[in-house]
Structure 1
Amino acid sequence: MSPAGAGAGAGAGAGGTGRARTSRPVTPVPASTVEHYDAVTDVLVVGYGCAGAAAAYEAATAGAGVLVLERAGGPGGSSAQSGGELYLGGGTPVQHACGFEDSADEMYAYLAAALGPHADEEKLRLYCDGSTEHFQWFVDRGLTFEPTLWDQPTWMPTTKDGLMWLGENAWPYNEIARPAPRGHRCATDAFGGWLVMEKLVAAAEAAGATTHADTLATALVVDDDTGRVVGVRARRHGRELTYRARRAVVLTTGGFADNEEMLADHAPHLIGHGKVSDGLDDGSGIRMACALGAATRRMATVEIALTALPAMVTRGMLVNAHGQRFINEDVYPGLFSVAAVLTQPAPYWVIIDEEGYESIPEKDRWGVLPLHVTGTLAELEAELRMPAGALESTVTAYNTYAARGQDPFFHKDPRWLRPLKGPFAAVDPRAGFHQGGRPSAGAGTGAAGFTLGGLHTTVDGAVLDVSGEPVPGLYAAGRAAAGIHGEGYISGTSLGDGTFFGRRAGKAAAGGA
């Protein structure tokens, strides 16, 4: 949300929804009213997730004095809590070690389709062309990658494999670009965001960046005559502070998944669902910039993750409340999640038979158990309150073609096609992972997500106003900005484009343009 009268880029107060506003004010502070600066630096970075760390490192390496403000007790943010996947390709050493050839053009073709429609072609082209160099940048910062492949659909491998598929080998993408796995994972079991942040923060600090933690930025300081952003007003432990930036301010404050007002105004699809964040993605950086007339892009675009286990979904099927399939289940799981939540009647069910369930290694089941198990499809339909004959019709058609190794409806890869036979089971995503088969008291919808839209920026991170002109002295990167995404998402493209364009923003900010 942005305050009323903040300009067309704000979007949130215009038109009047009749709701009371509870977000704190973000009114710009005229520099003429500032009597004292508590600290002065060249580049002021606001927010210390992956984009902030990358910006701080590059700005400091370029010779600028860098100070990072972080509202939490230390760096990390939502980046540290992420899976840690980095979407990289074009022929990295890990890809070569696993026997895959790749190119920037093939990577671009896949991402343009999977992140589309309407992916940002200029940013995406730069990202793909610079992907192998960006991989080496991570290696130079101390990250290591095992030269091995996790070869099955999953949200997160339970191993240290350095490479994973993220839907590149699923239809229709395998016909758009030559399939090559591009999900790069640093050498740690399961979730690795913490390790990515540990290395990036260490690099930024070694380069000379300093940090003020527990410091909440509340408004931008603006020169009265030129309109240039020259600092930030902040608050720490109840004390008001003002920071001066001689060259530029870089906003890397994250998205707005945790701001219910902004969600209602821009991305209502996430209302009522869980949030994938550290709890502090309140859109504050976006709002502060919009208060200066900054423009935004793609504010309605979201990523959604359904707690449906890909290992089960691929061996069976994903159906809506009417017992109907709606997508090939071997796509990147975020894509089947978005297709479910945004286009299909809930609840959603994973239908699997005993053979399919037992074929999943126990550790890869993540503790997920079916709540409903029946001998016949008619019994399962009744338990799930589906229209009589609906699920039976779906499974009959599926089995007929699966016996021939075909899926003419949705083109699931033959690797996963096999006729399903009783007993049958239904897994409820609302039960979550590691919770057995039954939704707990107060369980949610089985879906969680985050926002992808943000400030409109150039490829070097300069924030643009509603006239398309740069706001002097202001840059943004990460989820505070609109990055490479159109209406789709693939894991690793947040840490990937956040650091890639964070680096560019840090370099440009150090130049003081």
Structure 2
Amino acid sequence: MTSDQASAEERATAPGVTDVTPVPLAQVSSFDHEVDVLVVGAGCAGAAAAMEAAAAGAEVVVLERASGPGGSSAQSGGELYLGGGTAVQRACGFEDDADNMFAYLRAALGPHVDEEKLRLYCDGSVEHFEWFRSCGVNFQESLYDAPTWMPFTQDGLMWLGENAWPYNELARPVPRGHRPATKGWAGHTVMEALMGACREGGASVHTDTRARSLVVDDGGRVVGVVARRFGSQVTYRARRGVVLTTGGFVDNDEMLTDHAPVLLGHGKVSDGLDDGSGIQMAAALGAATRRMGFVEAAYTAVPAMVCRGMLVNGLGQRFINEDVYPGLFSHAALHQPGPCWVLLDEQGLESVPDGDEMGVRPTYAAETLEELEEELGLPTGSLGRTVAAYNEHAATGTDPLFHKDARWLRVLEGPWAAVDPRLGFFAEGSTGGGGTGFQGFTLGGLSTTVDGEVRSVTGSLVAGLYAAGRASSGIHGEGYVSGTSLGDGTFFGRRAGRAAAAARA
């Protein structure tokens, strides 16, 4: 018997095999489980897809390779990028609409956003907010009004760069970062609510079950999955469709090397299981991928410090307005000569609110900029020139070079301190991003329609196969804003679940 003729059982039980080759239906003698819709991955997109499919009357099972649901979604900050006039926005005194939201996101997530998906996302944002509330996600009607990665308060609304240049000139500034009433990291709060609603809706979750290969019939339609559970093979028949919500590929260095090498050597924002397996299973069927080189990077620099001082690169030069959404200064820093430093004076350091310092203290201090340059290994005179130019304009309340908002502008005076973002947050001596200060994740994935249908490399659709979340290419172009992963994943996960449930059995 040749390797091509080997049965699904033989290939799946061979030790160490990670073959994602599709399994012909004829090679599966029987199925252990049969359902209408099979969702692979129990993160935010998978929960949303399962809920909508079950609400449409489909019998649904969700496969999760870990011992519990949640995935990277549960470990996230929990921000949900929503707008258009939500109840929280109105309660905080802000008027918003879908067109205004679209104008901001088209710029902030660009260039090269998926405008068709983005338009739908903005138009449906208020309804999507109400859907979260119906699932049990609660929001406090108050605003956290300062730059931050995440508030360590229960405020339900935060700015995510909408009020920073150049975006404040492209769209009316309105905050859209919605957060559950949880202090700090709130991804677990979102996922607890979604999985509770998912189970109440009738979907079943099979944990410790890793999908390995897609099953296809003679016509090329995806009709199931071959999985592994505690060393044994388990087969699933999906009468209407399979929805892949398996996450991105930041944990797969081979895929990073091929598609997004900019993240190699840096930390990973994931639960450790974003290995691209769903993308690989679909690609083995001829599925098309899209924008696999697009990534997000987070620099472990404290926004409350950055906006009160300045961010300089390895040449001692500013390169961005420091009051922007921190993901934006992070992405810019990733492409700078490094390392980059947070420069503060004594007044700026002492004005950082308690708790907002995220456990970070300066690693260098000096009476003069010349002394600090020497300690940091920066070119002689570089900080002096940078600070002199900054102070000249700050004295008049302007920043003609980078347009930092006047709220954060003032003349900086010694003594001086510098923070090394490579040391990370909270724990003294800890490192962020594997010692580089950067942590990232991937944005590209399977090419899908707005209803999650997976496209093939020929431009046709892969029958019976859907995808959502980071396993797919969503609304993003080359940019990113917090909350658009959970927002995009759930919004298009819902659409994929409905589409799969409506497919002919």
CA distance in 1, matches of 2:432, 2:475: 39
Establish whether residue 400 from structure 1 lines up as the match of residue 392 from structure 2. yes
CA distance in 2, matches of 1:80, 1:23: 29
The one-letter code matched in structure 2 to 1:380 is L
Q: Shift of the alpha carbon at 1:363?
A: 1.4
Establish whether residue 80 from structure 1 lines up as the match of residue 71 from structure 2. no
The one-letter code matched in structure 1 to 2:298 is A
Deviations 1:17-60 (A, max 9, x none): xxxxx982200000011101010000000000000000000000
The one-letter code matched in structure 2 to 1:412 is K
Conservation of the 8 A alpha-carbon contact between 1:431 and 1:443: no
CA distance in 2, matches of 1:304, 1:68: 30
Mapping for residues 355-394 of structure 1, pairs under 5 Å: 355-394=347-386
The one-letter code matched in structure 1 to 2:494 is R
Q: Shift of the alpha carbon at 1:435?
A: 2.6
CA distance in 1, matches of 2:435, 2:367: 29
Mapping for residues 170-189 of structure 1, pairs under 5 Å: 170-189=164-183
Unaligned runs of at least 5 residues, structure 2: 1-15
Picking from 107, 123, 136, the partner of 1:129 is 123
Secondary structure, in 3 states, of the residue corresponding to 2:462? strand
CA distance in 2, matches of 1:439, 1:230: 47
The one-letter code matched in structure 2 to 1:282 is D
Secondary structure, in 3 states, of the residue corresponding to 1:322? coil
CA distance in 1, matches of 2:216, 2:52: 24
Partner of 2:195: 201
Deviations 1:50-97 (A, max 9, x none): 000000000000000000100000110000000000000000000001
Deviations 1:253-310 (A, max 9, x none): 0000000000000000110000000000000000000000000011000010000000
The one-letter code matched in structure 2 to 1:504 is R
CA distance in 1, matches of 2:137, 2:205: 22
CA distance in 2, matches of 1:391, 1:439: 27
Partner of 1:158: 152
Q: Shift of the alpha carbon at 1:443?
A: 5.4
Conservation of the 8 A alpha-carbon contact between 2:422 and 2:433: no
Q: Shift of the alpha carbon at 1:211?
A: 1.1
CA distance in 1, matches of 2:105, 2:122: 9
Partner of 1:354: 346
Mapping for residues 63-74 of structure 1, pairs under 5 Å: 63-74=57-68
The one-letter code matched in structure 2 to 1:67 is V
Establish whether residue 297 from structure 1 lines up as the match of residue 290 from structure 2. yes
CA distance in 1, matches of 2:252, 2:433: 21
CA distance in 2, matches of 1:250, 1:420: 54
CA distance in 1, matches of 2:195, 2:452: 20
Secondary structure, in 3 states, of the residue corresponding to 1:315? coil
CA distance in 1, matches of 2:231, 2:359: 44
Picking from 101, 108, 112, the partner of 1:114 is 108
Conservation of the 8 A alpha-carbon contact between 1:83 and 1:192: yes
Conservation of the 8 A alpha-carbon contact between 2:267 and 2:433: no
Mapping for residues 215-230 of structure 1, pairs under 5 Å: 215-224=209-218, 226-230=219-223
Secondary structure, in 3 states, of the residue corresponding to 1:486? coil
CA distance in 1, matches of 2:461, 2:77: 34
Conservation of the 8 A alpha-carbon contact between 2:422 and 2:432: no
CA distance in 2, matches of 1:211, 1:317: 48
Establish whether residue 474 from structure 1 lines up as the match of residue 468 from structure 2. no
Partner of 1:308: 301
Partner of 1:265: 258
Conservation of the 8 A alpha-carbon contact between 1:257 and 1:275: yes
Secondary structure, in 3 states, of the residue corresponding to 1:201? helix
Mapping for residues 272-287 of structure 1, pairs under 5 Å: 272-287=265-280
- TM-score, normalisation: structure 1: 0.94
Secondary structure, in 3 states, of the residue corresponding to 2:137? coil
The one-letter code matched in structure 2 to 1:474 is L
CA distance in 2, matches of 1:496, 1:241: 32
Unaligned runs of at least 5 residues, structure 1: 1-21
Secondary structure, in 3 states, of the residue corresponding to 1:426? strand
Secondary structure, in 3 states, of the residue corresponding to 2:355? helix
Q: Shift of the alpha carbon at 1:362?
A: 2.1
Conservation of the 8 A alpha-carbon contact between 1:57 and 1:207: yes
CA distance in 2, matches of 1:439, 1:412: 31
Picking from 237, 240, 246, the partner of 2:239 is 246
CA distance in 2, matches of 1:372, 1:199: 44
Partner of 2:401: 409
Deviations 1:389-425 (A, max 9, x none): 0111000000000000010000000000011100011
CA distance in 2, matches of 1:474, 1:47: 14
Conservation of the 8 A alpha-carbon contact between 1:87 and 1:492: yes
Partner of 2:27: 33
Establish whether residue 421 from structure 1 lines up as the match of residue 400 from structure 2. no
CA distance in 2, matches of 1:440, 1:301: 25
Question: What's the RMSD between the two structures over aligned residues?
Answer: 1.2
Q: 1:77 to 1:439 in 2, by over 3 A?
A: closer
Partner of 1:15: none
Query: Runs ≥4 in structure 1, deviation > 3 angstroms?
Result: 438-443
Mapping for residues 316-355 of structure 1, pairs under 5 Å: 316-341=309-334, 343-355=335-347
Establish whether residue 453 from structure 1 lines up as the match of residue 440 from structure 2. no
Q: Shift of the alpha carbon at 1:439?
A: 5.9
